[in-house]
Structure 1
Amino acid sequence: MKHFKTEDFVLESGTKISDVNIAYQIFGDFSPSKKIVWVCHALTANSDVEDWWNGLFGKNNLFNSEKYTIICANILGSCYGTSFKSEENLPIISIRDMVEMHQRLADFLEISKIDFLLGGSLGGMQALEWSVTNPDFIKNLFVIATNAKHSPWGIAFNEAQRMALHSGENGIEAARAIALLSYRNYETFNETQKDDEEKLNHFRASSYQNYQGEKLKKRFTNESYWMLSKSMDTQNLGRNRTSIENALSKIKAKTLVIGIESDLLFPVSEQKYLAKNIKNAKFEIIKSLYGHDGFLLETEKISELLKNHFEDLKS
């Protein structure tokens, strides 16, 4: 893991942060023959894209470091190596603030353009914002299971999780359990957590929720959970840009937008809207048992759609 220190910064909310230290990873080396692939990660992920998006990134996968220079930066507000000092204990960090840090890092690395910018969920929000903010910088764009403005439904789920965070010692575990209900769906749990034998207690679904909560508690912090869920709520590409449609029309990158048929948190209507309003965009839909989490798990289907859409990935 590498670190980039940057100057003081005033967040979109007006709060000043200082001693900003961005953690990032580069997979592969910089070479004139290699295209730059930049990945924006989702809420509880980190800069190790070969770990959390394995199947799409890594050896023998579509994006591998032998062929591409792959960069992933830990986002502002995350607990995986990125840090800062703030006038407020838990400042509101917008998606635009995150993108400003990405751009500063890209400038520091002397990157003149990004050949492929990718992101899912919260990562997709960043990728869209960056493509609007600096359209000439992004050549090809891929987003999945994301939106142009976070919905009242999504904000309500996030608020329920933040309420859980304040509930005591097991707050983050309860928050994660709530989140899982939005990441998966009825069919997911019915297929993977169904009890065959007759029971009165100790159901598989209950054990699964507790296990996932305990697992997150060991690797994440309440503070980052709170800040990043708030960041997701700020997503609105149209803020101070006349309209969302006007903002999306600024994107110049050749774009692939994928929706997941069973996604409850980011329904496919949101991805159809993106593709409709981005000039050079194509919309695809995939079927998945895993709902929103399909963007992490259906890597074989995603890889095929990427290769079919982007000529540069076929060679």
Structure 2
Amino acid sequence: MEREKRYEDRNVSIGPFVLESGEELPSVELAYERVGPTEAPVILVCHALTGNQYTVGESEPGWWKGLIGHGKYVDTSEFQVITFNVLGGCNGSTGPLSINPETGHAYQSDFPFVTVRDIVHSQNKALQELGIHHLHAVIGGSLGGMQVLEWGILYPDWMDHLVPLAVTPSLSAYGIAYNSISRFAITKDPAWKDGYYNPDHPPTAGLATARMVGMISYRTDDMFQKKFGRNGNRRSDESHTEASYDVESYLHYQGNKLTHRFDANSYLYLLKAMDMHDIGRGRGDIASAAKQIQSNVLAISFKGDLIYPPRDLDSMFTLESLAKFYIVDTKFGHDGFLVEFDKWGPLIKEQLKETLKI
């Protein structure tokens, strides 16, 4: 008999929530998507910086549609897949756009700073509210990968498998540098107004610039050269603002596109959370933190990833008997975790078949 299937696109309330900083949010909700048979093992998917809860999607394909779905590498006919919009996000979860009950207005820059650990703790509370107390796997890349690592340390007996992708145990100075440029672009936009901007006139120029900076770091030089080269009208003597080359048009398009779907304050808060990512913080060091992980680990890095170099993830799990590590050969660099699923999706499919090794 075929199991009953579900698709949920809802919010779950976890009530008051105390952050690592000691500050308390009086009421927190997390927006989530839940797909798959009702009694099937649960897989938690954690999204990246500008991602959202729509991993699979219903009215339109989700952002990981090449990896997750009916008959795909993460098969939603065999597993339930749940994804939360992160705490501090702007797609329905409590964040800078939410109403501050103390003022009756949106938090904006009054929203407290959050950490990756706060994000994970809030997800754990939300899962318990949904009646979920064990996960078959936790999967995610980039900011999502940071959450995966923290899940394995904060709640080591909660899952059978961890699958961190395109991530490192702490964010490097190089990664912080890129985030700093993005932060500078947004906060120096005259429309930012210290974070208390008019919703009808947000700091779009700053946010678009921040996105353009990010897009450069997500891909490799080889990929840019292969895709764009020096194609374009090749004129540079008409205007300082014109896009003379295809690569410029691409960056302008990507920057402007983000401003229509993402909040600048959320972008800033999540950049700070990424900057603070260090699994060794308060735990002695990275090696000591890694030893707290009890689940099977499939760690995947991507060749040419500038922000999250494969060597750092490899070194974290070298001595762990329950860990496997792979480097995917790709020209996409960091963005490899969002494309070319045929290269690494089979690894995840095989990992999910395994039971917990003690």
For structure 1, the residue ranges without an aligned partner over 5 or more in a row are none
Do residues 45 (structure 1) and 56 (structure 2) align?
no
Distance in 1 between residues matched to 2:283 and 2:23, nearest whole Å: 21
Counterpart CA distance in 1 for 2:346 and 2:168 is 22
Q: Quote the offset at 1:198 in angstroms.
A: 6.7
TM-superposition CA deviations, 1:99-120 (whole Å, max 9, x none): 1111101111222310011010
TM score, norm. by length of structure 1: 0.94
Rounded to whole Å, the distance in 2 between the matches of 1:291 and 1:199 is 27
Partner residue in 1 for 2:12: 4
Give SS of 1:82's match.
coil
**Structure 1 position 174 matched with structure 2 position 209:** yes
For 2:59, the equivalent position in structure 1 comes to: none
Deviates more, 1:184-193 or 1:57-66: 57-66
Q: 1:84-233 maps to which residues of 2 (within 5 A)?
A: 85=100, 89-168=110-189, 169=203, 170-196=205-231, 199-201=234-236, 202-233=244-275
Give the structure with the higher percent helix.
1
Shift of 1:287: 1.1
Q: Which has the larger radius of gyration?
A: 2
Provide closer, same or farther for how the CA distance between residues 298 and 88 of structure 1 changes in structure 2, counting only shifts above 3 A: same
Q: Distance in 2 between matches of 1:102 and 1:279?
A: 28
Say if 1:279 and 1:91 are closer, same or farther in 2 by CA, change over 3 A: farther
Match among 338, 345, 358 for residue 296 of structure 1: 338
Task: Give ranges in structure 2 of 5+ residues lacking alignment.
Answer: 1-8, 57-61, 101-106, 190-202, 237-243
Structure 1 residues 83, 198: closer, same or farther in 2, change over 3 A? closer
- The whole-number CA distance in structure 1 between the counterparts of 2:20 and 2:108 is 14
Contact 1:99 1:126 in 2 (8 A): yes
Please say which of residues 84-93 and 12-21 is displaced more in the overlay.
84-93
CA change 1:251–1:141 in 2 (3 A) is same
Q: Does structure 2 conserve the Cα–Cα contact (< 8 Å) formed by 1:16 and 1:87?
A: no
AA aligned opposite 1:158: N
8 Å CA contact 1:249, 1:277 repeated in 2: no
Give the whole-Å Cα distance in 1 for the aligned partners of 2:319 and 2:141: 18
Per-residue Cα deviation, 1:129-158 (whole angstroms, up to 9, x for no partner): 011011111101111111111111111111
Q: Tell me: CA distance 1:49–1:241, structure 2 relative to 1, closer, same or farther (3 Å).
A: same
**SS in structure 2 of the partner of residue 162 of structure 1:** helix
**How far apart are the structure 1 equivalents of 2:309 and 2:275?**
16
Equivalent-residue separation in structure 2 for 1:17 and 1:185 (angstroms) = 40
The equivalent residue for 1:274 is: 316
Q: Rate the CA distance shift 1:217–1:144 in 2: closer, same or farther, 3 A.
A: same
Segment drifting more, 60-69 vs 282-291? 60-69
Letter in 2 for 1:244: I
Counterpart check, 1:306 vs 2:348: yes
Query: Where does residue 71 of structure 1 map in the other structure?
Result: 82
User: Match of 2:260, SS?
Assistant: helix
TM-score by length of 2: 0.83
Rounded to whole Å, the distance in 2 between the matches of 1:39 and 1:197 is: 39
CA distance in 2: counterparts of 1:83 and 1:198, whole angstroms: 45
Aligned length: 311
| Aligned sequence identity (%) | 33
CA, structure 1 residues 310+2, in 2 after alignment: closer, same or farther (shift >3 Å)? closer
Change in Cα spacing, 1:63 to 1:182, as seen in structure 2 (3 Å) is: same
Most deviating of 303-312 and 181-190:
303-312
Superposition CA RMSD, Å: 1.8
